[in-house]
C-alpha cells in the first residue's frame, strides 16, 4: 500500500480524534451542558471522517462511514437539547424555499424571482451586520503588472474587465451581465494572487469586492452556515456591481455524490446553489469567482454553471520574478550568478517535483537564514554585516543557492496532482458526453 496514503490516513485519524477530544473537553468544561462549540468540533471530525471514507474502499470505507454516522447522530441529539426549535425552523425554511422556487419558475419568463424584493427573510436578517461589513475588502495591492506568466489567463480576465465597461451595448445585444469563474490548480500556484490582481483592476472600475474563505463559513454552528451563505448572495445582489470571491469553495459547495456526506454538508451545498441561482437570475453585474485545490469535492451542479480556469505551476519567468521579489531588495547576487539562473535550476520535467510559489518562498527563507549565519560569522557586528549585504561584499552565488536548494526541496505533490489529473479526465469525459 502507498506509504503516502498511509501517512495521510494516519494524519487524518489523529486529527479526527483530536477534534472529538476537544468536543469531549468542551462538554466537561461546561459541567456537561452541551454547547454550539461542541457541535463545531464534532463537525470538523465528521469532515475528516468523510474524507477518509472517500479515500478508502471496502471494509475500511464502511468503518469510516459508520463512525461518521455516529458523530452525526451525536450532533443531532445535541441540537435537540440546545436548540429544540431547530428542526421546526429547518422544515419551515424548506417549505418557504419550495414555495419561492415554485413562484420563481412560474414568473421566470420576465427574469424576476419571487421573494427577492422587499424585506429581508428571517433567515438572512439573523446575520450580524458587523460580520457583513467584514466581507467587503479593500482594493488588493497587487495588479496584473505583478503577475508574470499565464498570458492566456490574464488576457481572458482582461477581456472580462473590458466587458465591464460595455454594459449598454451588452444589454442591447442581450448578453448576460453576470459572469462566473472557477480557478482550479495545485496549492501554491498563484490562484489567489491572480484573483486579487483581477479584483484590483475591477475595483478601480467601481466594483465592490467581497471575499470570504470557505473554512470561515464552515466554522459556523449548525444552520448558521446556510444563513451566512444566503445573506452573502443577498448582499452581492444589493451591492452590484461587485466581485464575490470564495476561496476553498470545496468546503461550502460539497459534492453531494460523495459517500456518506453529512446531512449538514448537503444542506450547505443546497443553500449555496440556491444563493448562486439568485444572483444568476437577477443578471446584475456580479462577477463570481471560486477557487479550490480539490475540484472533485465540488458539486457538479456548480461546476456546470461556471467557466473553469486551470492555473498551472509557475513557468520560468514566474519563478524568476518570485526569486527577484523575495531576495532582490535585501541580498545581491555575486560571481555572475543571476535570478534567471535560479529559474533554470528550479525547472523540472517531472510535474511532481515542480516548484510552486510557496516552495520558492520556503527556499528563499532558507537562503536568508544561511546568509545571515554566514555574514555574522564573517563580520564583527550586525551593522557591519548589514553594510556588507548592502554593498554586495557578501551575497548569494550558485554554490550557496544549490546548497540551500538541497536543504529545502519542493513539497511532495504526487497525491494532489494525481487527484487533479483524474478529475480533469472525468470532467472532460462528462463534458464531451
The yes-or-no verdict on residue 131 having pLDDT over 60 is: yes
Give per-residue pLDDT as tens, 375-402.
999 998 999 999 999 999 999 999 999 9
Give per-residue pLDDT as tens, 244-278.
999 989 889 999 888 777 777 888 899 999 999 99
- The listed range with the strongest mean pLDDT (62-71, 150-159, 367-376) is 367-376
Structural domains in the chain? 3-82 (1.20.58), 132-310 (3.40.50.300), 316-415 (1.10.8.60)
- Long-range contacts from 267-272, C-beta under 8 angstroms, 24+ separation: 267/90, 267/226, 268/217, 268/218, 268/225, 268/226, 268/229, 269/299, 271/225, 271/226, 271/229, 271/230, 272/229, 272/302
Looking at residue 209, its pLDDT comes to 93
What is the pairing mode between strands 307-310 and 286-292?
unpaired
Helix (H, G, I), strand (E, B) or coil at 211: strand
Give the torsion through C-alpha atoms of 334, 336, 340, 345, to 10 deg: -80
pLDDT higher at 182 or 125: 182
Please report which confidence band the pLDDT of residue 221 belongs to, taking 50, 70 and 90 as the band edges: low
The yes-or-no verdict on residue 228 having pLDDT over 70 is: yes
- Look up residue 410 and give its DSSP letter: P
C-beta separation of 181 from 306 below 8 A: yes
Predicted TM-score (pTM) of the model is 0.69
Please report which confidence band the pLDDT of residue 91 belongs to, taking 50, 70 and 90 as the band edges: low
- Long-range contacts from 29-37, C-beta under 8 angstroms, 24+ separation: 34/78, 34/81, 34/82, 35/82, 36/82, 36/221, 36/222
Amino acid at each position: 500500500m502507498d506509504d503516502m496514503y498511509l501517512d495521510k490516513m494516519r494524519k487524518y485519524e489523529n486529527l479526527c480524534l483530536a477534534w472529538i477530544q476537544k468536543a469531549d473537553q468542551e462538554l466537561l468544561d461546561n459541567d456537561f451542558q452541551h454547547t454550539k462549540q461542541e457541535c463545531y468540533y464534532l463537525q470538523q471530525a465528521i469532515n475528516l471522517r468523510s474524507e477518509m471514507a472517500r479515500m478508502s474502499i471496502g471494509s475500511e470505507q464502511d468503518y469510516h462511514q459508520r463512525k461518521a454516522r455516529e458523530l452525526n447522530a451525536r450532533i443531532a441529539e445535541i441540537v435537540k437539547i440546545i436548540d429544540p426549535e431547530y428542526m421546526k425552523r429547518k422544515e419551515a425554511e424548506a417549505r418557504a424555499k419550495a414555495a419561492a422556487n415554485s413562484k420563481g419558475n412560474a414568473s421566470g419568463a420576465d427574469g424576476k424571482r419571487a421573494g427577492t424584493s422587499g424585506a429581508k427573510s428571517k433567515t438572512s436578517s439573523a446575520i450580524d451586520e458587523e460580520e457583513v461589513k467584514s466581507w467587503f475588502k479593500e482594493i488588493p495591492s497587487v495588479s496584473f503588472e505583478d503577475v508574470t506568466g499565464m498570458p492566456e489567463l490574464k488576457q481572458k480576465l482582461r477581456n472580462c474587465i473590458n466587458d465591464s465597461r460595455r454594459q449598454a451595448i451588452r444589454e442591447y445585444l442581450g448578453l448576460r451581465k453576470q459572469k462566473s469563474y472557477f480557478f482550479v490548480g495545485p496549492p501554491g500556484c498563484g490562484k489567489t494572487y491572480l484573483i486579487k490582481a483581477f479584483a484590483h483592476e475591477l475595483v478601480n472600475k467601481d466594483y465592490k469586492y467581497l471575499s470570504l474563505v470557505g473554512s470561515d463559513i464552515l466554522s459556523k454552528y449548525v444552520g448558521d452556515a446556510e444563513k451566512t451563505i444566503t445573506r452573502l448572495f443577498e448582499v452581492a445582489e444589493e451591492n452590484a456591481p461587485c466581485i464575490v470571491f470564495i476561496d476553498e469553495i470545496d468546503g461550502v459547495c460539497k459534492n453531494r455524490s460523495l459517500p456518506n456526506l453529512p446531512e449538514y454538508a448537503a444542506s450547505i451545498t443546497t443553500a449555496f446553489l440556491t444563493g448562486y441561482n439568485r444572483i444568476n437570475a437577477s443578471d446584475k453585474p456580479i462577477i463570481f469567482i471560486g477557487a479550490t485545490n480539490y475540484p472533485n469535492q465540488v458539486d457538479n451542479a456548480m461546476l456546470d454553471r461556471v467557466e473553469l480556469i486551470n492555473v498551472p505551476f509557475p513557468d520560468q519567468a514566474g519563478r524568476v520574478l518570485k526569486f527577484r521579489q523575495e531576495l532582490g531588495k535585501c541580498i545581491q547576487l555575486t560571481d555572475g550568478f543571476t535570478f534567471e539562473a535560479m529559474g533554470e535550476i528550479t525547472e523540472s520535467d517531472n510535474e511532481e517535483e515542480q516548484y510552486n510559489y510557496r516552495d520558492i518562498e520556503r527556499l528563499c527563507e532558507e537562503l536568508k537564514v544561511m546568509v545571515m549565519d554566514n555574514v555574522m560569522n564573517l563580520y564583527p557586528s550586525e551593522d557591519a554585516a548589514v553594510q556588507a549585504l548592502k554593498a554586495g561584499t557578501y551575497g548569494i552565488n550558485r554554490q550557496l543557492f544549490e546548497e540551500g536548494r538541497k536543504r529545502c526541496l519542493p513539497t511532495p505533490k504526487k497525491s494532489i496532482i494525481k487527484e487533479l489529473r483524474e478529475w480533469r479526465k472525468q470532467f472532460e469525459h462528462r463534458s464531451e458526453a
